Amino acid sequence: MSIKGKSSGATGGEAELTPKLRFPEFQEVTGWDSRKVDDLVNTVTPFKKLQTSDYKPAGKFPIIDQSPDFICGWTDDEEAVIEKGLPVIVFGDHTCTLKFVDRPFVQGADGIKIIRPKRGIDARFLFCALEAAPVKQEGYKRHFSILKEKKLTFPDFDTGEQQKIANCLGSVDELIAAQARKVEALRSHKKGLMQRLFPQEGETQPRRRFPEFEGAGEWEEKPIGDFGQVVTGSTPSTADPTLYGGGIPFVSPADISELRYVDETKTTLTAAGYEKTRPIKARSVLFVCIGSTIGKIAQNVRHCATNQQINAVIPNAKHSDGFVYFALSNASERIALLAGRQAVPIINKSLFSSVRLLVPSLPEQKRIADCLTSLDDLIAAESQKLGTLKTHKRSLMQQLFPQIEEDDA
């Protein structure tokens, strides 16, 4: 028996709820229904929950909690396993993460709700519908109370339209997952290659060298300050609106991603604002030295300024800007440890400039930089494809699910 009921969108002479995009075989089928999530699901109470101290790196059963990673740990605890009534949907109360789980698992630490659709609602369709109608994260508020009041639209189960939509979006998810694995494999390959192209701790030569530099001898140890000018950023007065909103990038740690280059930034400066900063030339190396994200690194595509959390290295003629970027990337974890344990981790300009790294001749620097840059370009291109697939899915979801207006609570 399917969940039946008159569509809230079809009452009072209103138009039926139908999606903008519909598969041909459902064009003549009546409109969709709409109900609150609370009317469509049951919550599952596990027999046993595991604390984070119980998480293991390997085991028979995956542990799922509210963290962004799908699997957060492993366990052999058979008493805690949830295996009946699958699939289910896991919702993170604090993080608003959604996970579709179709294999036996164990609930981790508190902070999630396990929901199972009632009869008449396909589980994967429900997961897609919840993704299409996200709950925004607001501080540390528990969100299931918001989610269960949210209205979802759905076609009659018996027509097969729910399953068709779920299969369609599932296929897109598989493409996204495959592309994400490709990007991750390239990043892993780059990390392994860098370990071979740069000397390991206690060594003065890399384990892999290009043929033209074999026998060239040891690399020379130099402080970062010898690579070029080190500039600590500064922030123009935020009380003066004439300094902001122009076309000049103003880089903060939030603008630095896993990709190498920074071009567009959330905040920009006018020419007047730029004059009140410490200008950074294009293709400098930007290294976060204050805060929880110490060690993040990027290169700026064009002239820019940075805030005070970033130390920039403007390479001189004796050093390849690309090599400086990769050398600092390779040493970023070691440099980050210099901040120590304090409320606000910090590596000041003097300490940063004094960090010593091994450096080859300029021709070898350029050869290493060219090799790794080619790999970076490939990673960027594949990451762009991944972003395009995610954008396509969002657009597809907007068309496959009718949009309904809800009163703000």
The per-residue pLDDT for range 310-334, each reduced to its tens digit, is 999 999 999 999 999 999 999 999 9
139 and 43 in a common domain: yes
Alpha-carbon span 179 to 181, nearest angstrom: 5
Last residue of a domain, one of 154, 169, 193: 154
Of the pLDDT bands very low, low, confident and very high (cuts 50, 70, 90), residue 14 is very low
Strand (E) or helix (H) holding 173: helix 161-197
Of the pLDDT bands very low, low, confident and very high (cuts 50, 70, 90), residue 145 is confident
Q: Span 70-99, mean pLDDT?
A: 89
- pLDDT at residue 119 greater than cutoff 80: yes
150 and 44 in a common domain: yes
pLDDT at 12: 40
Q: How many domains does the chain contain in total?
A: 3
225 and 170 in a common domain: no
The region of weakest confidence among 89-93, 281-285, 362-366 is 89-93
101 and 111 in a common domain: yes
- How many percent of the chain have pLDDT more than 70? 93
Q: Span 22-42, mean pLDDT?
A: 92
The token pair that represents 150 in the structure block:
């949210």
379 and 255 in a common domain: no
108 and 191 in a common domain: no
Q: Which residue has the higher pLDDT, 14 or 336?
A: 336
Burial of 129 (0-12, 13-18, 19+ CB in 10 A): buried
83 and 181 in a common domain: no
Instruction: Judge whether 28 lies within some domain.
Output: no
pLDDT at 13: 39
Q: How far from 48 is each of 58, 86, 350, CA to CA, in Å?
A: 19, 17, 52
pLDDT at 327: 96
In the numeric block, the tokens 């949009």 are attached to 403
Q: Provide the mean pLDDT of the chain.
A: 90
328 and 229 in a common domain: yes
Of the pLDDT bands very low, low, confident and very high (cuts 50, 70, 90), residue 144 is confident
Q: Span 210-228, mean pLDDT?
A: 95
Which structural domain, as residue segments, surrounds residue 314?
220-359
Of the pLDDT bands very low, low, confident and very high (cuts 50, 70, 90), residue 6 is very low
Closest by Cα among 315, 357, 332 to 219: 357
Closest by Cα among 229, 236, 245 to 285: 229
The per-residue pLDDT for range 88-99, each reduced to its tens digit, is 999 887 788 899
Q: Which CATH number does the domain housing residue 352 bear?
A: 3.90.220.20
Instruction: Judge whether 24 lies within some domain.
Output: no
E strand residue ranges, 22-181: 33-36, 41-44, 61-64, 73-75, 81-82, 88-92, 98-101, 105-107, 112-117, 151-154
pLDDT at 11: 41
The token pair that represents 308 in the structure block:
């005070």
Sign of the four-CA dihedral 141, 147, 151, 152: positive
Q: Span 335-344, mean pLDDT?
A: 85
The per-residue pLDDT for range 230-278, each reduced to its tens digit, is 999 999 999 999 999 999 999 999 999 988 999 999 999 999 999 999 9
Of the pLDDT bands very low, low, confident and very high (cuts 50, 70, 90), residue 126 is very high
pLDDT at 5: 47
Residue count of the chain, please give it: 409
pLDDT at 408: 47
The token pair that represents 383 in the structure block:
């990451």
The token pair that represents 240 in the structure block:
């003066």
326 and 378 in a common domain: no
Q: Span 72-88, mean pLDDT?
A: 91
Q: How far apart are the first and last CA of the chain?
A: 33
Alpha-carbon span 96 to 208, nearest angstrom: 45
Q: Span 180-204, mean pLDDT?
A: 94
- pLDDT at residue 179 greater than cutoff 80: yes
Alpha-carbon span 223 to 207, nearest angstrom: 22
Q: How far from 3 is each of 8, 121, 126, 408, CA to CA, in Å?
A: 14, 7, 13, 26
Strand (E) or helix (H) holding 193: helix 161-197
Instruction: Judge whether 124 lies within some domain.
Output: yes
Q: Which CATH number does the domain housing residue 165 bear?
A: 1.10.287.1120
In a 3-state reduction of DSSP, which class is residue 257? Answer: coil
The region of weakest confidence among 4-8, 39-43, 47-51 is 4-8
Instruction: Judge whether 22 lies within some domain.
Output: no
